[in-house]
Structure 1
């Protein structure tokens, strides 16, 4: 599957370089749906923008810019009158500006695609093509963003990032619960069909592994993020979340729940508990009280002077980026059946549509009919209706961009001089409330069939 998606995306990328390159690449690619390849392409654009933002945080980039002739802090090879301040191209402000440009692009696409019902809409070409032009627009917007005066830009945009990042965490929660249920139901169904002990052992092993990681995580958090004489808030968060994880695990195996949902069990609860453990660690990592928030370097090498900077990558940021990338890719390729997990409507963030992948598949040409000679192997499956809500999809990517912006800057807030970042107590509460909402959301999926017996939750 990964190879097929990569080849489909390669076909779309080739279209950025011209029709000849597109035809050559697409003729060698397997057939895939235009809705899938388009979503993957937008995901690639978002990930590429994230990589560029990560590069601006590289510790050695500032020293490298000192060797660039047109930089004002260089060796002054060029006259001072024609040099620029390259220091603005690095650091957390550069991340803010790059993410601002990507947010503007996805917000513009969301507005343009409002009300699109099928692939026959004139705006379909904008959604599914012109990739080279779109990339140039993002680059131009990013360059323009660097000319925004500092002033109150950073503190104001930080609050936009805080709110948007919180909303995307909620999206992650929905995707996580959907993933947990889909995973468990699929493996339970395979075990019931084949009665193979391999599937049973897989379910048991995965459940034990998730719970072991969660318990280990909470234990380490109690050891390193609390001490006997203080850190009362940390102790409360850890104790409360641990109790919630235990309670939701018990609820998942209650006879009433099992009667309504026979395939519900501890695997879903263990996945949710593990994610709550991560959110708890992420929240405590933003605790302003340094006595209750040891850095990873201090844990691994106690007693040494570990200098930290708000823009340094730490373990929490790396894990957050990996989870974010998984959520973006999952939301880009996930196929749901007939109801929305996110929008509560027929148009899902991603929904299957069109003909089956097997048998003869239409090849996208100028008229949408089959072609033989060098035809595009990305076929249009949205002529009768869109496979996902295009405007909603771009809105989710706006939130994803804000989330990655806050993750790269460790959810810190700029200080008064706008030169460094400080720990932010607001981000602690944002992530902690997110963990409680995660438990509440999963609990609702368990008790909803009991509370609303007349409604079909299949």
Structure 2
């Protein structure tokens, strides 16, 4: 009894300390500092918290949930909460799968709620996203603990499941923007290196251009092989056949549209095509029709691993990519930052030459002499001071909105979009059908949007597309 009292007292002290710290930050009682923390500090701590929540979700799903189901009468209160809505299943393994899914929903619901309040706080106080992080981590941990004692139905197994589906669809759209942005960064970096190598030695830049083409060929090759595997394993019904055919047609259309114009880059198109193939696999593997889904009732480890990989890529871009900060800024802030940089510079703009051309590049790059590089270093210092301007934090709510969608995607990726499977049986096949249509509809949307970005400048040449 004394040990329990000690634990409860310590936990209560931590909780009260965290609340006091958070309240102090919200009321503006932080200590003054002549050197403000980096504008990206809150962004990275948010991303790290979501990585922490993924680890907790896996522990809840594969550790805590099975242990609670197998627990004795001493923990019957908690067991009843975790098996609420799962007792209809006879097989104990199915019950554990159901409880495990709800364990993921608990952690994901906590992170979704956390980032929802973080977004609200960022709207009310722009600097809130980079303050009081020890308190925020503590409060998130306690929020996850509280969910342990809440019944599954209807909060987790019904309400949050549907919320997570919608949020995961939004993530699919956002993830395409992430993939395109990363592909452009990758492409632009290698084109710049090709230009620099070409300036030093004629013909040496072709190696970097060849590397870009090789990466594109590898991505297209992997995508085509994956399409072949999907076609060989998941055909047999009209639904899957249609999904695979539409994916292939839209993928070829994207490549054809990109190759026939100067919009975008071949590397971005290759990445988008690979993303669409993954979504196609995710959709057909959810089909509850056993005649065209040999994986029905099995744990789809491939989807879970790929889903977590996609989540990690998205979180890495959100937390550490320089262009992610630009995407989270408003146009007015971009204009202010550009004006500040321009005022600090004494040099006029100089023309740059393009050494590598064609559909592979997508951007112009030139070389810099020593004087230009020195000026660029000066610009970087100015940019850093602009980046740390608190007025630029007014759109940090966008970051939290994105992380809300990532939380929802994480829940769907770990639970196979809500499917309860064990011993080769799908306990709720209707859930798989809903997930299937939501994923494939999202795929059609993102492919159509990307195809539009390639065709719109040609269809409407007098309009500006930024």
TM-score, normalised with respect to structure 1: 0.71
Which residue number corresponds to residue 4 of structure 1?
none
Is the counterpart of residue 434 in structure 1 residue 442 in structure 2?
Answer: yes
Which residue number corresponds to residue 58 of structure 2?
54
| 1:54-93 matched pairs, under 5 angstroms | 54-58=58-62, 73-74=71-72, 80=74, 84-86=77-79, 91-93=100-102
- The runs of 5 or more residues in structure 1 that have no matched partner are 1-15, 17-30, 67-71, 117-122, 299-306, 363-377
| 1:182-261 matched pairs, under 5 angstroms | 182-195=185-198, 196-226=205-235, 230-254=236-260, 257-258=261-262, 261=263
| 1:288-307 matched pairs, under 5 angstroms | 288-295=288-295
**Separation of aligned partners in 1, 2:66 and 2:410:** 25
CA contact (8 A) 1:107 1:394 kept: yes
**Separation of aligned partners in 1, 2:379 and 2:273:** 45
Cα deviation for residue 148 of structure 1 reads 2.8
Cα deviation for residue 193 of structure 1 reads 4.4
Call closer, same or farther: CA 1:113–1:427 in 2, change over 3 Å: same
Cα deviation for residue 333 of structure 1 reads 2.3
CA contact (8 A) 1:354 1:382 kept: no
Cα deviation for residue 385 of structure 1 reads 2.3
Cα deviation for residue 56 of structure 1 reads 1.7
Call closer, same or farther: CA 1:47–1:193 in 2, change over 3 Å: same
Cα deviation for residue 174 of structure 1 reads 1.4
**Separation of aligned partners in 1, 2:400 and 2:339:** 19
Which residue number corresponds to residue 131 of structure 1?
133
| 1:148-159 matched pairs, under 5 angstroms | 148-153=150-155, 154-159=157-162
Cα deviation for residue 379 of structure 1 reads 8.8
Call closer, same or farther: CA 1:33–1:252 in 2, change over 3 Å: farther
1:146 to 145, 148, 153: 148
Comparing both structures, which one devotes a greater share of its residues to helix? 2
Call closer, same or farther: CA 1:88–1:137 in 2, change over 3 Å: same
**Separation of aligned partners in 1, 2:318 and 2:137:** 21
1:316 to 282, 303, 307: 303
CA contact (8 A) 1:96 1:157 kept: yes
**Separation of aligned partners in 2, 1:241 and 1:271:** 14
Cα deviation for residue 281 of structure 1 reads 0.4
Call closer, same or farther: CA 1:410–1:345 in 2, change over 3 Å: farther
**Separation of aligned partners in 2, 1:36 and 1:407:** 27
TM-score, normalised with respect to structure 2: 0.70
**Separation of aligned partners in 2, 1:447 and 1:338:** 27
Q: Secondary structure at the match of 1:319?
A: helix
**Separation of aligned partners in 2, 1:97 and 1:200:** 48
2:172 to 165, 169, 192: 169
Which moved further from structure 2: 200-209 or 405-414?
A: 405-414
Call closer, same or farther: CA 1:276–1:344 in 2, change over 3 Å: farther
CA contact (8 A) 1:279 1:435 kept: yes
Q: Secondary structure at the match of 1:243?
A: helix
Q: Secondary structure at the match of 2:123?
A: coil
Q: Secondary structure at the match of 2:217?
A: helix
**Separation of aligned partners in 1, 2:325 and 2:416:** 38
**Separation of aligned partners in 1, 2:331 and 2:289:** 44
Deviations 1:66-93 (A, max 9, x none): 8xxxxx924x7xxx4x874357565111
**Separation of aligned partners in 1, 2:432 and 2:76:** 36
Which residue number corresponds to residue 407 of structure 1?
413
Deviations 1:122-161 (A, max 9, x none): x62x321222211121122222223333332212211111
CA contact (8 A) 1:283 1:428 kept: yes
Deviations 1:254-297 (A, max 9, x none): 1xx22xx4xx44322221111111110011111111231122xx
Deviations 1:148-183 (A, max 9, x none): 333322122111111111011111011112222332
CA contact (8 A) 1:102 1:138 kept: yes
Is the counterpart of residue 328 in structure 1 residue 315 in structure 2?
Answer: yes
**Separation of aligned partners in 2, 1:178 and 1:88:** 43
Call closer, same or farther: CA 1:87–1:420 in 2, change over 3 Å: farther
Call closer, same or farther: CA 1:101–1:41 in 2, change over 3 Å: same
CA contact (8 A) 1:105 1:138 kept: yes
Call closer, same or farther: CA 1:63–1:445 in 2, change over 3 Å: closer
- The runs of 5 or more residues in structure 2 that have no matched partner are 1-17, 19-34, 83-98, 199-204, 342-374
CA contact (8 A) 1:347 1:387 kept: no
**Separation of aligned partners in 2, 1:313 and 1:245:** 25
